[in-house]
Amino acid sequence: MSSGIDNQSELLGSRLEAARELAFVGREEEVAVFRAALFGGGASVLYVHGPGGIGKSALLRRLGHEAVVAGRPVSVVDGRTLEPSPAAFGAEAGPALEEAGAVLLVDNFERVQGLEGWLRERFLPRVPVGALVVIAGQYPPDMRWQADPGWAGALEVLALRDLPAADAQALLDSCGVPAEMREPLLAFAGGHPLALLLGAAVAVKDGRACRRWVPDQDVVATLLDQLVGELPSAAHQHALEICAHAHMTTEALLRAALPQEAARLFRWLRRLPFVESSSLGLFPHDVVRELLEADLRWRDPEGYAVMHDRIYAYLAEKVRTAGEADVLGAVAALLYLHRDNGALTDFDRCRDEGEFQEELFRPEDVGALVRVATAAEGTASAHRAAFWAGRQPEAFRLYRRTETGELVGFSAWLRLEKLDEQEVAADPVVAAAWAHARATTPLRAGEHLAVSRFWVLPQYCGDSPVLDLIQWRMIGNCLRTERMAWSYIAIRRPNHAWVQHLERYGMHLIPGPPQVDDDAHTLFVHDWRAVPAQAWLERMNRLLLHGSADGPGAAAAELAVLSQAQFAEAVRGALRQLSRPSALAASPLTRTRLIADRAGQDPGTALGDLLRRAIDGLREDPRSVKFHRALSVTFLHGTPTQELAAEQLGLPFTTYRRHLTAGVERVCADLWHRELYGADTS
């Protein structure tokens, strides 16, 4: 009977090995390096490293098979079952190297990583010439291997990455995944082998194709156990979740979202095998990012929202305060939080320094501008581009391919406080924007409007990194520019995705598109007085978290945009109602920037407080004390009639009236200044 059991065991083992061989795909380069070493043309020690689930164990099995086929004796040491001591390692691995031409495979080395120095200095130097050692673990080798000249030709380091697209498809072939289910599965797992295999098993069992395949919580938990494992503390868990949520994590960002021990936790993050570094900061493997995001959203939605709000606030402030050279990166980092909510940018193509670069416009670039604009939109549009480059050269940016320096596009952010007849005649797009502003709510003193124009070579007009840069520049201008009333974006034949995207983000279509060269341009507009930058950001953030800008806790309605005359009349009316908070609540002033800057207070109460402080402020100037006295007696003390107020002040009625009128004008002027420039200006 025992013999029958042994035969069944051998048969099962053979079937398991055969199935694993069939499921193994790719890794041609790594196998080629091993073969070279196996036949004496390469290193004596191969060090394979990569994050959990990337296929290190599967690769070692294939390498072992290659060695057996070549007639070499093969031994395997598994760090999971080995005591982490030199004695234990030497006892298990030492005898395996006594045979001529032996091959030693060490798997899960991260479990005994503390032996790395001893292995390098004591054990491996005693390995016979002709033997071959392959070490596989999650962490890259210590830099001291590369710093030692003795290991220069003896060590080969192989970083195991995701499978290329063709190999990932082949892996799904081996799992029998139907063609219609592959795209969403690949969108989640990319080329990560373990994620592909687990996802394929669940997707095949589920049997339903969908646009975006989302792993269930069992798959999430299994993958997190395999890829991330146990974490040292809740603070480490939180730091990793922040790293997964942000596009790139710097120590400053981590400090903003997790103030305690940010420096120590950042150092810990950068050493994780599934976290990589770039010039912009740290980022996790895509699958780890997706899993951590899905897990936290499911496990602690309130904690997820708190973490997101802190990161969003930090990145929004970075956009406002970044130096000119850093604006595009700051906007991209903010938009990354919208990656699953309609953002047009493909962030896989802009993880580090991009394929294209933005540069300042110089006078000698006019000829190139004309060539690009002609190719993009025709001769008439090129003439208009040259016209504006002569008028506002500082408004223009150019975009070059980084590798070759090829010029592929221009953008302009035209700033207009007034428009002369020549400018109206020169450009129907700008003329249409100006006419719309004048017909709706004209510019007030010190305000301007902006018109965004761009000319891009036809091959880059679809979704491309060039348009990403232009989009980031436009958003940066909108969030950083002071005293801008309107912004207009002119797009020639926008596709449906662009229209949806801009309207979703508060840029509204203007009917009656202007014609250029018999070609219609669509104009999108936003009134930054009605929805200022901070309110716009709050709306976008709410849209991101909740899928809607409305509902409980939503930002206030659009602000009222009053002319100076309308504003002054509203102030006079509010002064007369100062003793009646309920009447003040109906004042149009409660829907202006004055009160929007005082969020959290009842609008009527806030307006009353503001008016009282404006009156009290007149006492600070000796020349206006008499105005203060007239306003105080009339509006603060509730004197029934102006005649009685004059009598209480001991003034002739005409003098009192003159002081009162001048005082009201001063309050109107002070509050108008606040309305235009904000409360922090003098």
Domain CATH code at residue 25? 3.40.50.300
What pLDDT does residue 553 have? 46
46 and 68 both lie in a single domain: yes
15 and 138 both lie in a single domain: yes
| pLDDT, tens only, 467-485 | 889 999 999 999 999 899 9
155 and 170 both lie in a single domain: no
What pLDDT does residue 230 have? 87
What pLDDT does residue 402 have? 87
Q: How far is CA 196 from CA 61, 159, 193, 313, in A?
A: 19, 19, 5, 35
What pLDDT does residue 19 have? 63
3-state secondary structure (DSSP) of residue 551:
coil
The rounded distance, in Å, linking the Cα atoms of 396 and 675 is: 31
368 and 512 both lie in a single domain: yes
**Final residue of a structural domain among 159, 174, 205:** 159
The rounded distance, in Å, linking the Cα atoms of 471 and 454 is: 10
What pLDDT does residue 392 have? 95
CA atoms within 13 A on the CB side of 405: 1
CB atoms within 10 A of CB 9: 10
In this model, does residue 679 exceed pLDDT 80?
no
3-state secondary structure (DSSP) of residue 643:
helix
Range among 84-88, 250-254, 606-610 rated most confident:
250-254
- Locus of tokens 């590369």: 146
Q: Which residue has the higher pLDDT, 387 or 544?
A: 387
CB 105 within 8 A of CB 64: yes
Helix or strand holding residue 600 (H, E): none
177 and 146 both lie in a single domain: no
Q: Tell me the pLDDT of the chain averaged across its residues.
A: 85
Residues sharing a CB contact under 8 Å with residue 155, sequence separation 6 or more, in sequence order = 43, 44, 45, 46, 47, 141, 145, 146
In this model, does residue 88 exceed pLDDT 80?
yes
| pLDDT, tens only, 221-241 | 888 888 888 899 999 999 999
What pLDDT does residue 355 have? 84
The answer to the question of residue 533 being in a domain is: no
Tokens read off for 454? 């761009």
Q: Helix axis angle, 465-480 relative to 327-336, nearest 10°?
A: 100
Helix or strand holding residue 549 (H, E): none
What pLDDT does residue 212 have? 56
The rounded distance, in Å, linking the Cα atoms of 95 and 97 is: 5
Helix or strand holding residue 247 (H, E): none
Q: Total domain count for the chain?
A: 5
- Locus of tokens 């013999």: 3
575 and 472 both lie in a single domain: no
The rounded distance, in Å, linking the Cα atoms of 591 and 680 is: 19
The C-alpha torsion from 93 through 95 and 96 to 97, rounded to 10°, is: 100
330 and 364 both lie in a single domain: no
**Final residue of a structural domain among 501, 527, 553:** 527
The secondary structure of the chain in percent helix, strand, coil, rounded to multiples of 5, reads 60, 15, 30
Residue in 71, 265, 286, 310 with CA at minimum distance from that of residue 190: 286
Q: How far is CA 252 from CA 248, 325, 334, 664, in A?
A: 11, 18, 15, 48
Question: 600 in the Ramachandran plot: left (φ > 0), alpha (ψ -120 to 50) or beta?
Answer: left
154 and 170 both lie in a single domain: no
CB 153 within 8 A of CB 183: no
| pLDDT, tens only, 420-432 | 889 888 888 999 9
The rounded distance, in Å, linking the Cα atoms of 285 and 283 is: 7
**Final residue of a structural domain among 500, 527, 554:** 527
The rounded distance, in Å, linking the Cα atoms of 352 and 343 is: 18
| pLDDT, tens only, 116-162 | 999 999 999 988 888 899 999 999 999 899 888 888 888 999 999 98
What pLDDT does residue 551 have? 46
CA atoms within 13 A on the CB side of 182: 17
| pLDDT, tens only, 289-338 | 988 998 999 999 999 999 999 999 999 999 999 998 899 999 999 989 88
The answer to the question of residue 348 being in a domain is: no
368 and 332 both lie in a single domain: no
The answer to the question of residue 87 being in a domain is: yes
Q: What is the domain extent for residue 315?
A: 226-337
Phi, psi torsion values for 155, nearest 5 degrees: -115, 135
What pLDDT does residue 674 have? 84
Tokens read off for 141? 């080798």
296 and 249 both lie in a single domain: yes
The answer to the question of residue 19 being in a domain is: yes
Instruction: Tell me the pLDDT band of 390, cut-offs 50, 70 and 90.
Output: very high
In this model, does residue 17 exceed pLDDT 70?
no
DSSP β-bridge partners for residue 523: 490
130 and 200 both lie in a single domain: no
| pLDDT, tens only, 58-72 | 899 999 989 998 999
The rounded distance, in Å, linking the Cα atoms of 322 and 480 is: 9
The model's pTM: 0.76
> Is the dihedral angle over the CA atoms 113, 114, 117, 122 positive or is it negative?
negative
The answer to the question of residue 552 being in a domain is: no
| pLDDT, tens only, 344-379 | 555 554 444 578 999 999 999 999 999 999 998 889
269 and 321 both lie in a single domain: yes
The rounded distance, in Å, linking the Cα atoms of 53 and 200 is: 14
The answer to the question of residue 343 being in a domain is: no
The answer to the question of residue 540 being in a domain is: no
